[in-house]
Homo-oligomer: A and B are copies of this chain.
Amino acid sequence: MVAIESSGTRGRRRSFDMDEAVETAMKLFHARGYDAVGVAELGAELGIKPPSFYAAFGSKAGLFERALQRYAAGEANIFARAQADGGGVVEVIERTLLLAARLYPERNGVAGCLVLDGARNSADPEARALTAALRKASVSAICAFIAGEEPERAGALAEFVMIAMMGMSAAARDGADETALTAFAEMAARAFRRELAAEG
């Protein structure tokens, strides 16, 4: 018999698509937060039963980690996108803030940032640690970038940007629309520009 589709690995083939499952889980976690999405619901939504779930992802936190990786690697990595378009510190930070204002408002039940708010108030230390690590990496990247022009105040300025993003994410999850967030982002961007210009 000729194998129609040989995968090279033996054993029964997975009956569901991993990427698709992680994508679905990502949306669910993003929409309602880590704790509010149960394994039973994930299994039902993904079309897989508990044993397959745990064979594939190890645990609920394991799937959350994959969802976070997918999130951070995609278009939700706002600072990376803003940085990719080039320009100086002021331009990139302004683009970062405005992009957040455009991406955070609710769309299909999803609002804010998964990294900033996905595990907020979670009772699971593992889930909190996963998002915390990504936040730390994010603020470090922003800090390093700013340090290229302003090494002295890079830390405080990066913190300013991060806290502003946290505010926008929280506000978006509380229902703020793009207009409101953009108004905030523009004020924050002006503030950043002026802080950088002062005694620079």
Tally of this chain's copies: 2
* CB of A143, distance to nearest CB on chain B (Å): 12
Interface pick from A88-96, A144-152, A188-196: A188-196
Chain A contact residues, CB within 8 Å of chain B: 32-36, 116-117, 120-123, 132, 135, 156, 159-160, 162-171, 173-176, 180-181, 183-184, 187-188, 190-191, 194-195
The A interface, classified by DSSP as helix, strand, loop or mixed, is helix
23 A-B contact pairs sorted by A residue (CB < 8 Å): A32-B121, A34-B121, A35-B36, A36-B121, A116-B170, A117-B121, A120-B170, A121-B121, A121-B122, A159-B171, A159-B183, A159-B184, A163-B168, A163-B170, A163-B171, A163-B181, A166-B171, A167-B170, A187-B191, A187-B195, A188-B191, A190-B194, A191-B194
Contact present for B123 and A32 (CB under 8 Å): yes
Instruction: Given contact pairs A160-B187, A163-B181, A190-B195, enumerate 17 new A-B contacts (beta carbons under 8 Å).
Output: A35-B123, A36-B121, A36-B122, A120-B120, A120-B121, A120-B173, A121-B122, A132-B174, A160-B184, A163-B168, A163-B170, A166-B167, A166-B171, A187-B191, A188-B191, A190-B191, A191-B191
